[in-house]
């Protein structure tokens, strides 16, 4: 056990952290949808929201007024983002039809994230595992850059049921962040599936 190896098993705080590890360790929360938001990012988001509006000398009355101003400005920024989304379109970097499906629904910011996964597909090799015809497992070997001149391969398992076009990957990117991963994309394209169910395209 980690605590015993480092002789800190008597530390009450560390023991409590270990007991609650399934609530905060990334490896345990991959199945929980948290939209790329960590606990520290939530605090940072609140600071960013109030930045320039309140400070340590702000009174309660001023805080309420400034909160309304901050909220109003946030709405205006969202409207501006919506306008840009409706009037500008990020070009697809590949000709895959699956990208146009996501492009039609995603905001520009979200579509950029999806494009990064499509780019990441270039570093993936797909190998089928022996299985039945309708439900199959695939090994996706991704070559990950660890240093500028060094790469290592990481294996991921992707399960595909072509009957209902059900797909999941053990990297759990979709389950935790709501975006289809490069490993799943690589398998879909390999199998000639260029249209995915709407459930894999989370709307804003």
Per-residue pLDDT of the chain (204 residues; tens, 9 = 90+): 666 776 777 777 777 777 777 666 666 666 565 555 555 555 556 666 677 788 778 887 787 788 888 888 888 887 777 776 666 667 777 777 787 788 878 878 888 888 899 999 999 999 988 765 556 899 999 998 887 778 889 999 999 988 878 999 999 889 888 889 999 999 999 998 888 888 888 766
The rounded distance, in Å, linking the Cα atoms of 127 and 109 is 32
| The pLDDT of residue 167 | 93
| The pLDDT of residue 3 | 65
The rounded distance, in Å, linking the Cα atoms of 143 and 165 is 26
DSSP letter assigned to residue 83: H
The total of other beta-carbon atoms located within 10 Å of residue 40's CB is 8
Report yes or no: 3 and 14 within 8 Å, Cβ to Cβ.
Answer: yes
| The pLDDT of residue 34 | 55
| The pLDDT of residue 100 | 79
**Burial class of 172 by CB neighbour count within 10 A (0 to 12, 13 to 18, 19+):** middle
Domain boundaries, the chain: 1-30, 41-87, 97-200
| The pLDDT of residue 165 | 84
The rounded distance, in Å, linking the Cα atoms of 194 and 197 is 10
Q: Nearest 5°: phi and psi at 146?
A: -100, -30
| The pLDDT of residue 75 | 84
The rounded distance, in Å, linking the Cα atoms of 160 and 149 is 34
Longest dimension (CA), the chain: 67
């Amino acid at each position: 056990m980690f605590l015993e190896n480092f002789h800190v098993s008597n530390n009450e705080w560390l023991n409590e952290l270990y007991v609650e590890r399934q609530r905060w360790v990334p490896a345990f929360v991959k199945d929980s949808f948290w939209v790329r938001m960590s606990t520290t990012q939530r605090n940072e988001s609140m600071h960013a929201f109030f930045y320039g509006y309140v400070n340590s000398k702000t009174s309660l009355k001023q805080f309420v007024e400034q909160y309304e101003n901050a909220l109003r400005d946030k709405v205006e920024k969202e409207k501006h983002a919506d306008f840009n989304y409706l009037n500008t379109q990020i070009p697809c970097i590949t000709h895959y039809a699956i990208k146009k499906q996501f492009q039609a629904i995603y905001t520009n910011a979200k579509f950029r994230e999806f494009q990064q996964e499509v780019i990441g597909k270039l570093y993936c090799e797909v190998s089928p595992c022996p299985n039945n015809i309708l439900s199959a497992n695939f090994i996706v070997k991704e070559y990950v850059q660890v240093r500028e001149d060094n790469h290592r391969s990481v294996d991921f398992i992707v399960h595909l049921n072509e009957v209902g076009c059900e797909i999941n990957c053990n990297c759990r990117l979709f389950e935790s962040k709501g975006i289809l991963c490069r490993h799943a994309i690589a398998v879909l394209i390999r199998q000639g599936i260029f249209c995915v169910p709407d459930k894999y395209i989370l709307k804003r």
